[in-house]
Amino acid sequence: MKIQFSKEVKTALKTGAPILALESTIIAHGMPYPDNVEFALTAESICRQQGVASATIAIINGECCVGLERPQIEFIAKDESIKKVSRRELGIAISKKWSGGTTVSATMHIAHQSGISVFSTGGIGGVHRGAKRSFDISQDLTALAQIPMIVVSAGAKAVLDLSKTLETLETLGVSVVGFKTNEFPAFYSRSSGLCDLFRIESPGDATHIYRKNMEIKLGASTLVVNPIPKKNEIPIGEIEKIIDYAIKDARIKKITGKKLTPFLLKEIVKKTNGRSLEANKALALNNVRLGVKIVHQLS
Ligand code: PSU
Ligand code: MN
């Protein structure tokens, strides 16, 4: 697979230095400009300060880029025509020379092909509410089932059916562990009421389990779920009404498929006067911090 590496990532790959993969749909479609640039640059600087190469992954003019230069980040964050590229669309994006943010599934694919084993995101995609009718289940789940990496996320996005998402992760054989919790986090909130997770206490626990999963040739990812910091959380009771409202609005406006998640996130930012955006940034950066510690343990 042809991959364009940044200087930083190329050097790290050569010397075996620690690398953390980061995605770009969260930049292009998950947050508004200029918050998204600030977020992306902060995420990268957290990595660098801790001696980890930051590998933000995106498609630029049909090239798979691993590690972006600042103008490329600005481009992904600003350009209105940037696509949302999932794993099944990677070949199309390359063939048609698209520029696009890569989702969790596409980012995992490229990271794995690059030899990178740890990836931090905000919240994974999953089973949408109303999936009984719509069949809308994110490719993120199948990618987690098929690609053996460590993925750090604040649970799955709160707009989803979290209980069905967790059940599906089980069906697909994904090894889910809670970082200092036995409860599946609900993205903006720390609790979901789903309390059956295996709890780990340290980044070392995560890497030990991942190594064992690799030894037994599990094939699926080790998903480390990391709750949003207390000071940034929006209690589930408060956010739930707003999510319900946004989902109803999406139904009325007939927004489906890959447009649905970005639409819901945007509506929730509007309805919370930006509080959900601050929460989203905080939880994603918190996952970067944990990802960095995990990468260090691994190398
Ligand atoms: N985490 C965030 N914001 C986001 C995403 C994750 O905090 O926007 C993105 C990821 O790229 C994920 C995608 O793969 O949302 C899920 O989209 P869908 O539900 O269409 O599969
Ligand atoms: Mn979908």
**pLDDT tens column, 32-64:** 999 999 999 999 999 999 999 999 999 999 999
Distance of CA 247 from the midpoint of ligand 2 (Å) = 14
- Beta strand 53-60 with 63-66: parallel, antiparallel or unpaired? antiparallel
Cα-based torsion angle of the residue sequence 127, 130, 135, 139 in order, rounded to the nearest 10 degrees: -20
Mean pLDDT to the nearest integer, 184-208: 97
- What is the chain's mean pLDDT, rounded? 97
Does the annotation count 271 as an active-site position? Answer: no
Q: Quick check: CB of 104 below 6 Å from ligand 1?
A: yes
Which ligand ends up closest to the CA of 135?
2
Catalytic entry in 84, 157, 281, 293? 157
Mean pLDDT to the nearest integer, 242-256: 97
Beta strand spans in the chain (E): 3-5, 19-22, 53-60, 63-66, 83-85, 100-102, 118-120, 150-153, 175-179, 198-200, 222-225
Distance CA 185, CA 188 (A): 8
pTM, rounded to two decimals: 0.98
Q: Quick check: CB of 140 below 6 Å from ligand 1?
A: yes
Query: Which residue, 206, 21, 201, is CA-closest to 119?
Result: 21
Does the annotation count 23 as an active-site position? Answer: yes
Token readout for 234 is: 């929006």
Query: 51's torsion region: left (phi>0), alpha (psi -120 to 50) or beta?
Result: left
Sign of the alpha-carbon dihedral angle for 88, 92, 95, 99: negative
Neighbours of 216 (CB within 10 A): 8
Atom of ligand 1 nearest to the CA of 138: 21
Pocket test for ligand 1, best of 22, 23, 24, 26 (most atoms within 8 A of CB): 26
Q: Report pLDDT for 290.
A: 98
Mean pLDDT to the nearest integer, 6-13: 98
Neighbours of 251 (CB within 10 A): 12
Is the separation of the CB atoms in 292 and 46 below 8 Å?
A: yes
Residue 99 has phi, psi (to 5 degrees) of -115, 135
Q: Report pLDDT for 133.
A: 94
Q: Report pLDDT for 171.
A: 98
Which ligand ends up closest to the CA of 84?
1
Q: Quick check: CB of 286 below 6 Å from ligand 1?
A: no
Distance of CA 273 from the midpoint of ligand 1 (Å) = 21
Which ligand ends up closest to the CA of 257?
2
Q: Quick check: CB of 284 below 6 Å from ligand 1?
A: yes
Distance CA 182, CA 216 (A): 24
Catalytic entry in 8, 23, 44, 183? 23
Residue whose CA lies nearest to ligand 1 atom number 11: 103
